[in-house]
Structure 1
Amino acid sequence: MINLHFFPSKRIAFYMARLFITRSAAVLVALVAILMILDLLGNSGKILAHPENGNAELWRYVSLRIPGLIQRFLPFSALLGALITLAGLNQNSEIISMKAAGISAHQIIAPLILAAGLIALVHFAFQERVVTRATAALSAWDAVDYGAVPPDSNVVANVWLSHGDDLIRVDRVTGRGDGVRLTGVIVADRAGGTIRRRLLADSGRYLPGRGWELTNVRLFDLETNQLQRLPSTIWGAGIEPDQFTLAQVDPNRLTFLQLRETITQVAATNRSTATLESNLWHKLASPFSTLLMPLLAAIAAFGLARSGQLFMRAVIGMALGFAYFVADNFALAMGNLGAYPPFLAAWGPFLLFLLVGEAVLIRTEE
């Protein structure tokens, strides 16, 4: 008699979910540890190059970098955890025993999908509460070359802006609203596409209604080859502070609600928001991609282990998972370029591989 319940017995469901969660966690710890060591080896020289930095700063870097690694590799760890779990159950003939008891393939996978859903919720909460803050702090620290971070943590580095024909580059932007401060200002004054003058200033502050007061200004005229030095000057009338603060928005530093608000602000300046909208939807799609992993790994659960094809089935399951991550990154890149609509760029790969995984599972069950 066929079991018509969506889940198998509570004991089997809890047993399989526990195996999946513990194995996924073990894979995640191993991956993050290895990647963190490699990342630290590559960046420790830059951190210790600052004369006041030492071991404490290295540990600070580790604490700020680990949340990002966990956020990025949690779905991949779930894939490997599901493959290890299902291959082990197949190897020990536990899958055959379940099917002999009338439990279908979908019922066997159901506990893993439920556990993956719980992981996805934790992943999303972790991303919103921990990863965004750690990424913002690490970016602000990196912007000052791992030195002392200014009291205002709203630091954006290497900002480019166009104003009319002029090109503007700012090494560092701090603050918000009328309190925005610029550090390392370079202005290419162009006319007809040709640079006529080049302005450099150490710092700048916003004067409402007047423009920007730049200090320690060097003005080089390319036509006369003359250099003029000024202690200060007023420049950039009509350039609002939010044009600098919104010129380079890092979605990884913002929560879902903050990014949605930023999109509204950018749209009010008549600028394209396709890239930000793609990343907004991806903040949901990325954590919930964990739901796909047991389905893509399910091919390793079925088929006789003694047939010698268990390893090949596990490889196929891993290949499906890798294909999803490649398709996800490709679609997000296309969304950032405006080639795909934002919703399709974020959720298209998820829906596609949901159908692929379901088709493989049905075919395997037959």
Structure 2
Amino acid sequence: MILSTLGRYFFKRYIVTTFWFLIGIFALIFIIDFSELASRMSALPHYTVSGALLMTTFRIPTILQQTVPFVALFSAMAALISLNRRYELVVTRAAGISVWQFLRPFVLGAFLVGVLAVVALNPLAAWGTKRAEALEAEWGSSRSAQSNSIPWLRQIYDGTDTIIGARSVQNGGTELINVTVIHFDPQGTIILRQDAKSAKLEDGYWLLKGVTESGNGRLPRRLETVQLRTNLKADFVQERLAKADSIQFFDLPHKIDVARSFGFSTDAMETQLHSLLSLPLLLVAMTLIAACVSLKFSRFNQSRSVILGGILSGFVLYVVTVLVKAFGSSGIVPPFVAAWLPVVVAMALGSTILLHQEDG
């Protein structure tokens, strides 16, 4: 069926519908995100309209990949309802082709869209996020798009205990913005504080720029650069500060191995990896849900309650997927179970409902 003329026609209809949905969502995200950026960052010293347009472009893939499951749901519903209204599915059924046969092109299309989202959109989103953060830092913003909490690191080098904090992180944690470094003596008393505009982890030291030093009993002094000796390695810092959803798909297996070697929890990264691996099947589940509410023939007006039920079902599936993913990231549920269980259950329910509707 998939390679037949009718199968290719259905496949093309689904892909074209998905493409136009993506274009529409892209435009909507661009307008909304640009407006939000302009209102939030227009007061920054180095803000420009062209820069805001560029940053919005960098941020779009990250936002767009969150909408992919809904794109699959709405595309399948729109394509199937359109085919129904034109009697094309009626003729297909009359020719003796079952629902399981003519749904194969839609399922294949959803699966391929999911694969493209994993291997193309996800790496692009990770790259765009880094570029957007770098551009935001150049504008002088102290906010971080990567972390909602202030990251802190502790190091002990040559008997000196040092705590390093920052308002935001870049490049997986090897570059810090608006840095505070606090030095302690062996008795735990603060002996020196350094405030820097930025810090970059080099080979064996942190390079602080735009530093203001202050200590007990002395006036603050300003320094252009300061080298802070460290025994922290780039891999360690990246695993300590980087968020799982900011790591691209192809880097996740290596990052998981590195995190394990340092003794860090890998639940968040493993959950992210399995979530990306299960994304194509999640889109297949969304397609089955769309089929459950779109295959009933209606020439002029599809039942609004049925369509609304399909949309709500897809939304509930997405919310459950995100919720269980959060449980997996925190270690409450095994990562494999957290990523795959909602998808498998949704596919089983969708198939069961279709069996009941079509085969009694």
Is 319-328 or 211-220 further displaced after alignment? Answer: 211-220
2:7–2:105 contact (8 Å) kept in structure 1: yes
Unaligned segments of structure 1, at least 5 residues = 1-6, 149-154, 221-225
Deviation at 1:60, TM superposition (A): 0.8
Structure 1 residue corresponding to 2:333, chosen from 337, 340, 343: 340
- Is 1:39 the equivalent of 2:58? no
1:171–1:183 contact (8 Å) kept in structure 2: yes
CA distance in 2, matches of 1:277, 1:291: 22
Structure 1 residue corresponding to 2:13, chosen from 4, 16, 19: 19
Aligned to 1:320: 313
- Is 1:218 the equivalent of 2:214? yes
CA distance in 2, matches of 1:282, 1:118: 16
SS in 1 for 2:240: coil
CA distance in 2, matches of 1:174, 1:19: 42
Q: 1:191 to 1:109 in 2, by over 3 A?
A: farther
Q: 1:218 to 1:339 in 2, by over 3 A?
A: same
Cα shift readout 1:176-222 (whole Å, capped 9, x = no counterpart):
99x97785124386999xx953853134677977x7687543236xx
CA distance in 2, matches of 1:254, 1:282: 13
2:45–2:139 contact (8 Å) kept in structure 1: no
Cα shift readout 1:122-170 (whole Å, capped 9, x = no counterpart):
222322442221122112223x16359xxxxxx9994223569986412
Q: 1:230 to 1:66 in 2, by over 3 A?
A: closer
Aligned to 1:53: 47
Superposed CA RMSD: 3.7
The residue identity in structure 1 corresponding to 2:274 is W
- Is 1:274 the equivalent of 2:267? yes
Structure 2 residue corresponding to 1:249, chosen from 211, 219, 242: 242
The residue identity in structure 2 corresponding to 1:219 is G
Q: Give me the TM-score of the superposition, normalised by structure 2.
A: 0.80
Instruction: Give the 5 Å matches for 1:47-86.
Output: 47-86=41-80
Deviation at 1:84, TM superposition (A): 1.0
SS in 2 for 1:305: coil
Q: 1:13 to 1:266 in 2, by over 3 A?
A: same
Q: 1:323 to 1:93 in 2, by over 3 A?
A: same
CA distance in 1, matches of 2:8, 2:332: 44
> Identity of paired residues, percent?
23
SS in 2 for 1:201: strand
Q: 1:205 to 1:199 in 2, by over 3 A?
A: farther
- Is 1:170 the equivalent of 2:166? yes
- Is 1:100 the equivalent of 2:74? no
